[in-house]
Structure 1
């Protein structure tokens, strides 16, 4: 069963985020708190959304997909960016991951979104194979860029004065 997350799910979502971070060899970088997630997912201006996969027999949370809207200047349409897809190890192979991805594909179609995108670690061969089996195109000509920590702070400090900053 796939359902939309509720505030009640925040502790379980955070636990799975930490499980995913450990799997991706980055447990020390998963610093989000329940309060941050609660605000980001259920606050006045949600930054992201979550679908939950539950085991049909036990009702146990088997996995989740956390996503947020994006926009393509080329297509002139919105899309979905899948930030995290995680299915607990003991629930893998039962169709939960495919069901979560399919549910998000349906959101795209329902809203006229033309793109559904995410990133995958190149060493995560099971995930790469899974995504390919769904028909996903792996865009090898694009490289993810990231600013964080001191480089982000340094660049921000050099920013010119901007009038009319958007409220985020």
Structure 2
């Protein structure tokens, strides 16, 4: 569960966006490592703003807070992935100056992972 990996195992961190002390969004991130940079990176796994609060700057504010953490802690890079069909998010990220890189994401999950190990 998310709670286990964030609070017990401390493998990810979360920051929240609040309006009048009510949580209306969050950003969940974890650290990765780049041998190319020789440094730790922040990988944003999830950025979520409740739909009724979108368009009010909360997503940008969360990203700025994360960027500050990257700078303060001396990480090498701030990165995330976005689904190729999610044009509203792509437009948002590009509007704030983020750049798409030429990476293809590969992964194994569930049966694919087990089949690969067992072959």
TM-score by length of 2: 0.94
Give the aligned partner of residue 110 of structure 2: 149
Stretches of structure 2 that go unaligned for 5 or more consecutive residues are: none
CA RMSD of aligned residues (A): 1.1
- Listed as ranges, the matches of 1:108-127 within 5 Å are 108-127=70-89
Please point out which of 87, 99, 103 is paired with 2:65.
Answer: 103
1:2-81 equivalences in 2 (<5 Å): 36-43=1-8, 45-55=9-19, 58-81=20-43
Number of residue pairs aligned between Structure 1 and Structure 2: 119
Q: Which runs of 4+ in 1 moved over 3 A?
A: none
In terms of fraction of residues, the more strand-rich structure is: 2
Shift of 1:59: 2.1
Give distance in 1, aligned partners of 2:84 and 2:113.
Answer: 25
Deviation of 1:148 (Å): 1.2
Structure 1 portions without partners, runs of 5+: 1-35, 159-168
Rg comparison, structure with higher value: 1
- The Cα shift of 1:97 comes to 0.3
**In 2: Cα distance, 1:122 partner to 1:153 partner:** 27
| TM-score calculated relative to the size of structure 1 | 0.67
